[in-house]
Amino acid sequence: MTLTAEQILASHKANIETLFGLTTKAFEGVEKLVELNVTASRAALSEAASHTQAVLGVKDAQELLALQASLFQPLAEKTAAYSRHLYDIASGTGAEFGKAFEAKTADAQKAFTNLVDSAAKNAPAGSETAVAMMKSTVSAANNAFESVQKAVKQASDMAEANFNAVTNTAVNAAKTAAPRKR
């Protein structure tokens, strides 16, 4: 099987389109990250100003302690929300890259399988055993790759579940700790 100039050109064109598509997705992820950080910084600055005003208006130590205790829970919730947004941006961008990688890998697997099939059709007589072994090897490699993809997906799902559990635990701990400080 020989590749024609048109096939090579089409392959290069598809690769360039994929590269630009992934670059666009990467920039979108960076834009979301910058937007998240600007929003968080703006909110933190505003909260710092209002907290400073509240501290300046405190009349005694008991009121200061109550004010400090009342800030702990919202801070934990905001930190958890920020972390969640950050995780969503990272996992969304990573998912886009994963989809592109899977598509390219599927294309490469298909092209290689076609190449093996073409070679098998043109193989000299008596090479059936070698062709069968080559097809078996390709099939085993494809199965192994699919197993790895499934394992990575399961690990990603487990990591997300653990992240959610840790975030919820931290927020709940902050909720129960805040009333005790008063």
DSSP labels, 16-59: HHHHHHHHHHHHHHHHHHHHHHHHHHHHHHHHHHHHHHHHHT--
Are 29 and 93 in contact, with CB atoms under 8 Å apart? yes
Residue 12, judged by CB atoms within 10 A of its CB (0-12, 13-18, 19+), counts as exposed
Q: How far apart are CA 11 and CA 98, in angstroms?
A: 20
Are 87 and 164 in contact, with CB atoms under 8 Å apart? no
Confidence bin at 182 (pLDDT 50/70/90): very low
Q: How far apart are CA 166 and CA 176, in angstroms?
A: 15
Per residue in 18-34, pLDDT tens? 889 889 999 999 999 99
Per residue in 45-92, pLDDT tens? 999 899 889 888 989 888 888 888 788 778 888 888 898 899 889 888
Confidence bin at 174 (pLDDT 50/70/90): low
What percent of the chain shows pLDDT beyond 70? 93
> Residue 180 has what pLDDT?
54
The average confidence (pLDDT) of the chain is 82
Tell me the Cα Rg of the chain.
28
> Residue 30 has what pLDDT?
92
pTM for the model stands at 0.62
Tokens of 98: 């994963």
Whose structure tokens read 């092209």? 111
Confidence bin at 116 (pLDDT 50/70/90): confident
Mean pLDDT of 127-132: 78
- Show me where the domains of the chain are located: 5-180
Are 22 and 82 in contact, with CB atoms under 8 Å apart? no
Mean pLDDT of 106-115: 79
Whose structure tokens read 């096939």? 7
Are 134 and 116 in contact, with CB atoms under 8 Å apart? yes
Q: What is the DSSP letter of 3?
A: -
Per residue in 155-167, pLDDT tens? 877 877 877 777 7
